[in-house]
Amino acid sequence: MLIFSGIYKNAKQNPHKICMSFGNNRIVYREFVHCIDQRAEYLAIRYSKCEKVIIKNINPINTIINFLACSRAGLAAVPINFKITQSKMDSIVRKINPCCIIDDKFIFETQLVGQEGRLPLIEDSDIFLGALSSGTTGHNKVIWRDHKSWTSAFKYQNQVFHISCRDILFLVGSLSYTANLNSAMHILNEGGSIVFSSSIYPGTWIREICKNNVTSIFMVPAHYRILLKELKTELRNVKSILSAGDKIDSDTVNMLKSKFPDAYVCEYYGASELGHVAFRNNKNVNSVGKAFPQVKLWIQDDVVWVESPYIAPDFRPRATVEDIGKIDSKGNLYILGRKNNTINKGGIKILPYNIEKILDNNPKILKSVVFGIKDSLKGEEICAAIVPKTNNITVKEIREYCRINFESYLQPKKIKIVQHLKLNSSGKIDYRNLMK
């Protein structure tokens, strides 16, 4: 099965059904595949099969159309957040050497369509996606995906997540986040509909959920916590609540069950390299659940290893992202931490080193240490301990320096100025002391 196979089937069966909504924008399945075909034919004329493309659109409907047009033309697409900094954009361009960047200024010359050849033959082993991931290292990298590594999971996602062609899925955030993109591809291949949120504000989310009769929601736990703070009434139309990217806590699960009393609540554990690994419903909140269908799990040297058909081609047949874990007698998987000190902020993996090296470039800073602290909304937040070169630097100055040099999600929430860094008995920095 190809990443667009189900979509074309749905366009024949339900051509006038709305497949995607974003604000006041709507598109039905028939128009959807027409746009894909037109753009795919143009891309196939201009570029050769297997070339790389960066997609950077503001409107998520355009992102999906352009993404699938690239797949249909045999190109490998790398969706990125349109808010990305120029330095990160430059880094990605150097990494993948794209044949083009499809943004809102890109022009599809439709007058060329139909003048030359046909679309290339696409096989399920062809690469269609470059998924941006910081993984366990915190460094930007691209995980290349073939069609079958995603589509082979779709039928099991129906069963595990309680989603079908009758559902209307609500998504928040960028499609550069692999879990969002995967959720979108799954529901569109099933013949369902997507409502993309047009806002970062939970009050707007609630209005959009109600207005569009949303039946399924996918968010990271941090977004659910924000939503629940704003939500005052029960929403009984929602039948499935899905989460990934970070461990969801028991308080949040209980609140979700209270506000969405008719919903099946499920979280899954996975990674860009591994695909779906484990899933958990309302029971045993301390674990990330049991193995996803077709997945084999085991612990080797305290690290979780995976073998499954969902692993990215470069990592087959078995792989690990070096999460430390254990499996109990009932097959429940527990993630105990990571082999490194990556900060998991609302599902976004952040490497302290990348923040430290920029902080240390400040002429008034002698040494910085960045680490994660527990946060009720985002799971972890960023904290920075600063050893100053002189006594004339203030927290206010450091915050201004961070505002100029970091994207908002990388700016430390807590900044401490210390005169020295205490060490533990092993001669290493005592992080426990820093967190006090």
Please indicate, yes or no, whether residues 242 and 97 belong to a single structural domain of this protein: yes
Q: Could you tell me if 278 and 381 lie in one domain?
A: no
In this structure, the answer to whether residues 227 and 363 fall within a common structural domain is no
Same domain, 36 and 155: yes
Bridge partners for 324 per DSSP: 303, 337
Same-domain check for residues 276 and 388: no
360 is a domain residue: yes
Residue 43 CB neighbour total at 10 angstroms: 25
| Shared-domain flag, residues 146 and 233 | yes
Whether 135 maps to a domain, the answer reads: yes
- Report residue 201 CA to chain centroid gap: 19
| Predicted local distance difference test score (pLDDT) of residue 95 | 93
With CA atoms as reference, report the closest residue to 308 among 300, 320, 299. 320
CB 309 within 8 A of CB 294: yes
Of the residues 287, 302, 318, the one at which a domain ends:
287
Cα atoms in the Cβ-side hemisphere of radius 13 Å centred on 270: 29
Instruction: State how many domains the chain has.
Output: 2
Residue 155 is assigned to a structural domain of this protein: yes
What stretches in the chain show pLDDT beneath 70?
Answer: 112-117, 134-139, 282-283, 337-340, 423-429, 431-432, 435-436
Residue 296 lies in a domain: no
**Residue 70, domain CATH:** 3.40.50.12780
Q: The tokens of 374 are what?
A: 């527990």
Look at residues 269, 287, 305 and tell me which one is the last residue of a structural domain.
Answer: 287
The token pair at 52 is 């790389």
Both 71 and 185 in one domain: the answer is yes
> Is residue 86, in this structure, part of any structural domain at all?
yes
268, 287, 306: which is the final residue of a domain? 287
**174 lies in some domain:** yes
Contact indicator for 99, 122 with CB cutoff of 8 Å: no
What value, to the nearest 5°, has the Cα angle with vertex 22 and ends 17 and 28? Answer: 20
Q: What is the chain's alpha carbon radius of gyration, rounded to the nearest angstrom?
A: 23
Q: What domain range includes position 350?
A: 343-434
Say if residue 259 is in the same domain as residue 353: no
Question: For position 410, which CATH number holds?
Answer: 3.30.300.30
Together in a domain, 243 and 364: no
Task: Tell me if 348 is assigned to some domain.
Answer: yes
- Tens of pLDDT, residue by residue over 129-183, are 999 886 444 457 899 999 999 999 999 999 999 999 999 999 999 999 999 999 9
Say if 256 falls within a structural domain. yes
Is 262 found in the same domain as 396? no
pLDDT at 282 (0 to 100): 61
Residue 29: what pLDDT? Answer: 98
